[in-house]
Amino acid sequence: MKHSTCPCCRGSDLEDFFTIRNAPTQSLVTIKDRDVALAIPRQDIVLTFCNGCGFIFNSEFDTSIDYYTQGYEDQQGFSPTFVKFITGVTERFIDRYDIRQKQVVEIGCGKGDFIRLMSKLGDNKGVGIDPAWVPGRGEDAPNVRFIKEFYSSAHGDIEADCITCRHTMEHIHDTIGIMKTVRASCRDARPVLFFEVPSIVRILDIQAFWDIFYEHCSYFGPGAFARLFRKAGFEVLDMYLEYDKQYLFLEARPVSEPSDIIHPLEESIDELREKTRVFAEKMAVQLGEWTERLKGYKAAGKKVVVWGGGSKSVGFLTQFADLGVIEHVVDINPHMQGNFIPCIGIQYSGPDFLKEYNPDVVIVMNSVYMEEIRHSLAERGLHPEMVGL
């Protein structure tokens, strides 16, 4: 079913600008059986631009699919690079708003890494809410409790001095609905909000097709993200880009009167529309260049692996699986290893597998991790060509 109104502003002035045909509807579900993985349904992703607010979304997104209660795996804390990054960002946020000995609620807490970190660094009490939370995943945190549910108005009575939500909004179709639910939970209180999403601006600028996949139904630039928060009854306190401009952070507070404060990072609707036009023009070139590169590796008899499982590898391999070049995908998350990639059928391996396989080329799904991965390969006596996305 095609959605004909914008999930952020409810407007109907929409235009489609890019389509990915037959994308797997699941990319981070853990599957132990190859046939089951190959049977995961496929559907089109149709990126649609709202001329009213600058929001980008998949207008063909199927809201009836259960994406998150069948073994959803998205834990990033196995990487020292990521742990250093998120610790620094969190310490800075805690210091800025004095989030110490406070009550913190996290919407979409995953396996609980971040709410535990907020508790540890600020001596805070925390509540993590997520249907994909798994008991026993992570160190004990006596000040943190978890609710294995989707966030809803039923959780509005939970007191919060701070509400966090990291890498969850891009999975939510009814974006204005969830933000109004958050605003209603604030009542007379004035909690600080700390939200994080991938930035669509970077995806458009470098044609990062590997960052477009089915579970991500919502794509935010700073402008659309800020407009959504203002429309829902919040004032944007700050926005900034981190992690090689991949991640967009927003800090806000509820206000009683509509805010008209525009943050300097916000792009205009016209500016983002132009970026979508350029993206659509350049994507054919980007995909063509990658196709020729992979065919060249195959013709030269080179062994090529992808390092970095999950959504990025699915987004990448969806375009090139039929070439038969890549037979192995490596991930350091032990909970990914041994599972089969939805619709692709490749089984995730751990890094030690590479000692025997001895690849000629390693395609790194996120170039932020290049040095960490280079070091890991060198420890195993491997020095392949490395290509970072």
C-alpha neighbours within 13 Å on the C-beta side of residue 118? 29
Q: Does domain 288-388 have CATH number 3.40.50.720?
A: yes
218-219 sheet: strands from edge to edge = 14-24, 42-50, 56-58, 218-219
- Is a pLDDT exceeding 70 seen at residue 73? no
Q: Does position 355 have pLDDT exceeding 70, yes or no? A: yes
Mean pLDDT of the chain: 94
pLDDT tens, residue by residue, 361-386: 999 999 999 999 999 999 999 999 99
Handedness of CA 67, 70, 74, 75 (dihedral sign): positive
Q: What is the mean pLDDT of residues 116-135?
A: 94
- Looking at residue 197, its pLDDT comes to 98
d(CA 243, CA 93): 16
pLDDT of residue 309: 83
Reported pTM: 0.95
Q: Is the pLDDT of residue 134 over 90?
A: no
% of the chain exceeding 90 in pLDDT: 86
Question: With pLDDT > 70 as the criterion, what percentage of the chain qualifies?
Answer: 99
Provide the pLDDT for residue 135: 87
Say what the pLDDT of residue 238 is.
98
Q: Where are the beta strands (DSSP E) in the chain?
A: 14-24, 42-50, 56-58, 103-107, 125-129, 144-147, 162-166, 192-198, 218-219, 234-242, 247-254, 304-307, 326-330, 348-349, 361-364, 385-388
| Rounded CA separation 252/62 (Å) | 30
Res 336 pLDDT > 70: yes
The mean pLDDT of 107-129, rounded to a whole number, is: 96
Answer yes or no: is pLDDT of 141 > 90. Answer: no
Question: Is 173 a residue whose pLDDT tops 90?
Answer: yes
Note the pLDDT of residue 108: 96
- Banded model confidence at residue 142, pLDDT cuts 50, 70, 90: confident
Burial class of 4 by CB neighbour count within 10 A (0 to 12, 13 to 18, 19+): exposed
- Confidence at residue 302, expressed as pLDDT on a 0 to 100 scale: 97
CA distance 132 to 185: 22
Residues 6+ apart with CB under 8 A from 241: 199, 202, 222, 247, 248, 249, 265
In the chain the first and final C-alpha atoms are separated, in Å, by 33
pLDDT for 113 equals 94
Residue 76: pLDDT over 90? no
For the segment 189-227, what is each residue's pLDDT rounded down to a tens digit? 789 999 999 999 999 999 999 999 999 999 999 999 999
pLDDT score for 215 = 93
Structure confidence by residue, pLDDT tens digits, 222-279? 999 999 999 999 999 999 999 999 999 999 999 999 999 999 999 999 999 999 999 9
**Mean pLDDT lowest among 115-124, 136-145, 183-192:** 136-145
Q: How far apart are CA 346 and CA 344, in angstroms?
A: 6
Who wins on pLDDT, 242 or 75?
242
Taking only the tens place, the pLDDT of each residue in 289-306 is 999 999 999 999 999 999
Measured distance CA(145)–CA(106) in Å, rounded = 11
Mean of the pLDDT values across residues 150-171? 96
Residue identified by tokens 């990025």 is 312
Domain boundaries, the chain: 288-388
Average pLDDT over residues 22-27: 92
- What is the number of alpha carbons within 13 Å of residue 108 lying toward its C-beta? 20
